Amino acid sequence: MADNPRMPSRHLTFEDAVQVHQLLRKGWFQNRIAARFDVNGGRISEINTGKVHSGSLQEAMRRPDLGDIV
């Protein structure tokens, strides 16, 4: 979590987006993923719908399963 609660949350990278897709495929809820990455839930939705980081879903599907992520 951010040190200063008034600072905006961080920006998600393409690699983060790949991990988001992997977590979604494992059945994680979007709000839990958002909390894990310290971002607004809308950012996870944008990744999920393909509005940002196009190609991240294909990359996530190409990679092996993450196993048990905590």
Per-residue pLDDT at 36: 95
Cα–Cα distance measured from residue 30 to residue 42, given in angstroms and rounded to the nearest whole number: 9
Per-residue pLDDT at 6: 72
Cα–Cα distance measured from residue 2 to residue 8, given in angstroms and rounded to the nearest whole number: 8
pTM given for the model: 0.82
Per-residue pLDDT at 10: 80
Torsion, Cα of 47, 48, 51, 57 (10° steps) = 80
CB-CB contact of 41 with 31 (8 Å): yes
Encode the chain (70 residues) as per-residue pLDDT tens digits.
556 777 766 899 999 999 999 999 999 999 999 999 999 999 999 999 999 999 999 999 999 876 655 4
Per-residue pLDDT at 64: 84
